[in-house]
Structure 1
Amino acid sequence: MFLSLAVVGGLAASPAVASAQGRADIPQSHPAWANPQSKVADTAASSTMDFRVYLNLKDQGAAEAAAQSVSDPNSRGYRHYLSPDQVRDQFAATDQTVSAVKNWLSASGFSIGEVPSNRAYVEATGTADQVQRAFAVTLGKYQVKGQTLRAADKDLSVPAALASDVLGVVGVDQATNLFKPDHTDGADPSATKQSRVQGSPSTAPPSNGFRNSGPCSAYYGEKTDTTDPAYNGKQLPYAPCGYTPAQLRSAYGLDQVAQVGADGRGTTIAIVDAFASPTIYSDAAEYAKRNDPAHPLTKQQFKQHIFPPNQALEPPDQCDASGWYGEETLDVEAAHGLAPGADILYVGGQDCEDLSLDTALNYVVAGHKADIISNSYGDTGEDIPASEVKVFNQISMQAVLEGIGVYFSSGDNGDEVARLGTPSPDFSASAPWVTAVGGTSLAVGQDGKRMFETGWETGKSTLVNGAYAPAYPGAFNGGAGGGTSRLFGQPFYQKGIVPDALSTKNQTGGAKGRVVPDISAVADPNTGFLVGQTQTFPDGVYYDQYRIGGTSLASPVFAGVMAVADSLDHFHHGFINPVLYQLTSRTSAIHDVQHVDGAVQRVDFVNGVDASQGLKTSARVLDYPNLTIHTTKGYDDVTGLGSPNGVAFLLLV
């Protein structure tokens, strides 16, 4: 890791380092992957760039103390939330600071763009040549994780007179282009669905189609595969076809309080993703009509704020605009399904690079546009420039001050060892001021009740010529992210609850780190959620339905649970981590998710669409054991404290 800024409870603003000629470096403001060995080209001097200069708070320490006070049930300031105006007046950069930064940028030849209402940043546009001269760097193109991304060759610098005002500069590099949606259908990646149609984000067609083959079960255990060979000595149940909203509301006990009007009404859930599906409302409305007709998604309940698409992606559609459509669809349909009375605000970033996702998040927070924000994307691990980390931490802390709950999916690649070589949680879920939502495999019975729930880590064995390979427990095939952060120290709310055996992982000198996740909900695509989406099939573009999962499912599901808690308890819960750990961690309000031996049988189309190229049968092991993170009794680094346990949870949080 190139970044080590762990502190207890938050991330301190690093002081700028004095350099020559009246300038100061912004420490660790370029990513570690931007090194001479990975450079492939220079950046064209005439290319146009948008970037944002984020500004330090007036008093970082006071802001952190206030955030802890409003969220800590042991504090006298508990739930005494601030308005956006109060946050701005007490903590934001001054008008004089904003003017000084704008004047410097204008003098450097940049066009000045937005300054949001919370004065979080100054946006500017200019050429790469102007950026190089203004920040005293050379821009290049670097190969990283299969992409070619722009970055500076060294730390950015600013005039020494502005050093104490600048939190970070974001958009000069394309590090956030590595953020990906955390959803999966669990199918073979060679299926047709994975071959995305490329194009500019404003014209990208719906993603290529995907369907689930039968047989499958309407509920867990309805049908058993008696024709294929036994797996590990057992005939396996067929995977559920995809749980409906009613099944998940029942499994998590939400139907019990709906009778008294607690269905999310009075709460707005914001969904933040990149881009915007052109068919999102019609798809979500059709989905509710088919699968949950008593709870339609009305036009009054659904709003969008979509940032203009970036027409200068490098190369075109590098972020896979159509691929994000499925993420948005899952998030909206799951949130509405769990909390059908809540309002939904979709906020679509102009792309997945140049901090567009953080800009979208800041839009919600600066104007308190929602009470809950669900985010289902993240980086592979924590290899993120310090500027991005500090900026995100500042936005999420403002959300805490305002009483907004921010939820992030924990990731879909388990401990990340397979991709990184070392275990790591994913950023942004590892940040201290957000609630990281892990994933489970959920068995919902015929009566709609939870039969069992275990950690989501999948082992896959494919049936070939009458034998399963690899043998039990198969090969790792995706699972909930988790582990101990190298970026963030142990936050106050995890002290005394998270075992030292976990908090001291990845640490040195007796230090303790932030452990992910905090809470969990259904995520396993093999016990997943039914979604409906307009897709591009060989015979045309039209709406169809399929089963999906990932912690992208867990985050909006849990956001929906919290919206129902808001309407039942008649207040907005805001940042719930302190309550989760201090009040519910040792009570029946949390269902302690533990290891369960189990597996399901899946039959999939080879091409992901139809049987024309044949079928594939595979056994999917639940809670695959061969990772560095494990589902255990009590707090663990796959499911956190556990999952919400019906009415007891709704009342206690």
Structure 2
Amino acid sequence: MLRKLGLASSSVALASLAALALPGAPAVVSSTPSAVPMVVVGPVIKSASTSPPSASSCKTAYGIACYGPAQMAAEYNYGPAYGAGYNGTGQTIVIFDSYGSPTIRADLKHFDSAYHLPAPPAFNIYHPEGNVVLNYNNLPSPANFNSKQLATEVGWAYETTLDVEYAHAMAPGATIDLVTVPVSETQGVQGLQNLEKAQAWALANLHANIWSNSWATTEQSFDSSTVIKQLNQLYAQAAAKGVSIFFAAGDSGVANTNKQGATYPYPTVNYPASSPSVIAVGGTQIGSEPTTIASHVTEQVWNDGYGAGGGGYSTVFPETSYQVKASIPDRTGMRGLPDVSYNAAVISAVLIYESFDPVYGAGWVPIGGTSAATPQWAAVDAVAQSALGSQGYLAPKLYKIYRTPSLYSKAFYNVTSGNNSFDGITGYSATTGWSAAAGLGTPNVSDLITALGSLH
């Protein structure tokens, strides 16, 4: 049995940090929307060996599948690209998180060893907004783990671990740059500005054109659309410089909250995912949650009761020119999201390794959310650029592929079933072609590279 713990279904970072109702589930103590990232966390699975649990053992013990990098590579057809030597070599993925994790270097080494992955060419950590101080590092005992702040910091450590391990796993030849800030993003009130300052620093100093982000705020929670448009100037500048910025679209479908934690009584989307200068990443779930994946398994929109993929239409930004050209279904004339999707479900979770948890200690953890989808889409971009060279801001090219049916049918797995209605708020249904539940669909990575290479 799975259940949500403590938090409202959507928070400042788009979704609650939830845990499986099983021994070893990470503690969550906050009862109001706080700054927790977009992850859905399962039990810490102890293992006598370094090997991660199998999907079949997870299904037997917990009723969900849990997958590793090889299964994701099979699901999305990375194999031919890897076989041709395209694995992200020469590229850099920049990941932005609050706080980070005190054990991320050691945890990535353990993860790589267990999955027989090479270390990244470089793994750099930057603190442009000041050094991070973690309050849970020196707890006298786990019993002292009883504050919202501690839970927030631990939540971001799970987010950081997921981001780093899966960006690297799917693009093992790419350099990983982790940029952290010492405060948490909280409904646009604080933290978001720090993260944008850190991004401005990265734009000026890191010279990398692939960014991954898994945080945001409901558009309606800002004081005005003017504030959002001012914040968005950074992303417009980055896109103009050829940076593809991937943002998680959210983990509670169309049901998002205000600053007090109440769900808006109508469909909403989140910023920065709603920016016309970023690539919004939605969520899917893998069909029958097979215990092995040898090739693509049909997906539907993520909506497994514990979360749902974000999507809908902005109330701030008009429809982008490339969406207009693609004739996406949109009666509002506003920016539609997500642009793309990827496995994000709890019932088809991916496994991370962590050793920072102050209560349950080290172990393998099944984890879901559009936070799982976003760094993997950043990795797709890195793999493509290792094959084709710089692709610049990727979104217009993805929609150009969509406008050519012969390319689209090979480059994407069209998600045609499911919806992102959630928490009593009616959302959008998947359909043939683009939808506000699954965007263009999920990537057939090797064929997507071929399609990108054919564009003029």
More helix by share: 2
Is 1:363–2:201 an aligned residue pair? Answer: yes
Pairing 1:337-356 to 2, within 5 Å after superposition:
337-352=169-184, 353-354=190-191, 355-356=193-194
Is 1:255–2:76 an aligned residue pair? Answer: no
Q: In structure 1, what is the equivalent of residue 295 of structure 2? A: 449
Q: In structure 1, what is the equivalent of residue 64 of structure 2? A: 239
Which amino acid in 2 is paired with 1:575?
Y
Distance 1:379 1:623, change over 3 A: closer
Matched residue SS, 1:536? coil
Residue 544 of structure 1: which of 346, 351, 363 is its match? Answer: 363
Is 1:522–2:343 an aligned residue pair? Answer: yes
Which amino acid in 2 is paired with 1:271?
I
Cα deviation code 1:139-195 (max 9, x no counterpart)? xxxxxx99xxxxxxxxxxxxxxxxxxxxxxxxxxxxxxx732657556359996233
* Counterpart-to-counterpart distance in 2, 1:278 and 1:523: 25
Distance 1:310 1:562, change over 3 A: closer
Matched residue SS, 2:130? coil
Give the structure-1-normalised TM-score.
Answer: 0.56
Contact 2:209 2:243 in 1 (8 A): yes
Q: In structure 1, what is the equivalent of residue 353 of structure 2? A: 532
Q: In structure 2, what is the equivalent of residue 606 of structure 1? A: none
Matched residue SS, 1:531? strand
Cα deviation code 1:301-328 (max 9, x no counterpart)? 20010232478x9x99389222211100
Residue 430 of structure 1: which of 261, 268, 274 is its match? Answer: 274
Contact 2:78 2:444 in 1 (8 A): no
Residue 119 of structure 2: which of 286, 291, 297 is its match? Answer: 297
**Sequence identity percentage:** 28
Which amino acid in 1 is paired with 2:301?
G
Which amino acid in 1 is paired with 2:157?
Y
Deviation at 1:578, TM superposition (A): 1.0
Contact 2:27 2:151 in 1 (8 A): no
**Larger RCO, structures 1/2 (Cα 8 Å, 6+ apart):** 2
More strand by share: 1
* Counterpart-to-counterpart distance in 2, 1:328 and 1:572: 26
Matched residue SS, 2:281? strand
Deviation at 1:593, TM superposition (A): 0.8
Deviation at 1:284, TM superposition (A): 1.1
Contact 2:341 2:441 in 1 (8 A): yes
Distance 1:316 1:359, change over 3 A: farther
* Counterpart-to-counterpart distance in 2, 1:584 and 1:430: 20
Residue 242 of structure 2: which of 403, 413, 417 is its match? Answer: 403
Q: In structure 1, what is the equivalent of residue 130 of structure 2? A: 308
Pairing 1:560-599 to 2, within 5 Å after superposition:
560-569=379-388, 571-585=389-403, 586=405, 587-588=408-409, 589-595=411-417
Supply the RMSD in Å over aligned alpha carbons. Answer: 3.6
Deviation at 1:642, TM superposition (A): 0.6
Matched residue SS, 1:437? strand
* Counterpart-to-counterpart distance in 1, 2:436 and 2:53: 30
Contiguous gaps of at least 5 residues in structure 1: 1-144, 147-177, 198-207, 226-236, 460-476, 598-620
Which amino acid in 2 is paired with 1:592?
N
Contact 2:267 2:425 in 1 (8 A): no
Q: In structure 1, what is the equivalent of residue 104 of structure 2? A: 280
Contact 2:167 2:378 in 1 (8 A): yes
Which amino acid in 2 is paired with 1:331?
D
Deviation at 1:343, TM superposition (A): 0.5
Cα deviation code 1:383-415 (max 9, x no counterpart)? 224464234311111211221110000000111
Q: In structure 2, what is the equivalent of residue 120 of structure 1? A: none
Larger Rg: 1
Deviation at 1:478, TM superposition (A): 1.5
* Counterpart-to-counterpart distance in 2, 1:222 and 1:317: 31
Which amino acid in 1 is paired with 2:314?
S
Matched residue SS, 1:634? coil
* Counterpart-to-counterpart distance in 1, 2:423 and 2:106: 38
* Counterpart-to-counterpart distance in 2, 1:366 and 1:435: 21
Is 1:490–2:319 an aligned residue pair? Answer: yes
Deviation at 1:275, TM superposition (A): 1.2
Deviation at 1:536, TM superposition (A): 3.3
Is 1:194–2:27 an aligned residue pair? Answer: yes
Deviation at 1:596, TM superposition (A): 6.3
Matched residue SS, 1:284? helix
Is 1:331–2:158 an aligned residue pair? Answer: no
Which amino acid in 2 is paired with 1:591?
Y
Give the structure-2-normalised TM-score.
Answer: 0.78
Distance 1:498 1:546, change over 3 A: farther
Pairing 1:153-232 to 2, within 5 Å after superposition:
179-180=12-13, 187-188=20-21, 193-195=26-28, 210-211=43-44, 218-219=54-55
Is 1:627–2:445 an aligned residue pair? Answer: no
Contact 1:277 1:328 in 2 (8 A): yes
> Would you identify which runs of 4 or more consecutive aligned residues in structure 1 move more than 4 Å?
181-186, 188-192, 219-225, 621-626
Contact 2:101 2:356 in 1 (8 A): no
Deviation at 1:254, TM superposition (A): 1.1
* Counterpart-to-counterpart distance in 1, 2:355 and 2:180: 18
Which amino acid in 2 is paired with 1:420?
Y
Which amino acid in 1 is paired with 2:250?
G
Matched residue SS, 1:347? strand
Matched residue SS, 2:362? strand
Residue 372 of structure 1: which of 204, 210, 218 is its match? Answer: 210
Which amino acid in 2 is paired with 1:284?
L
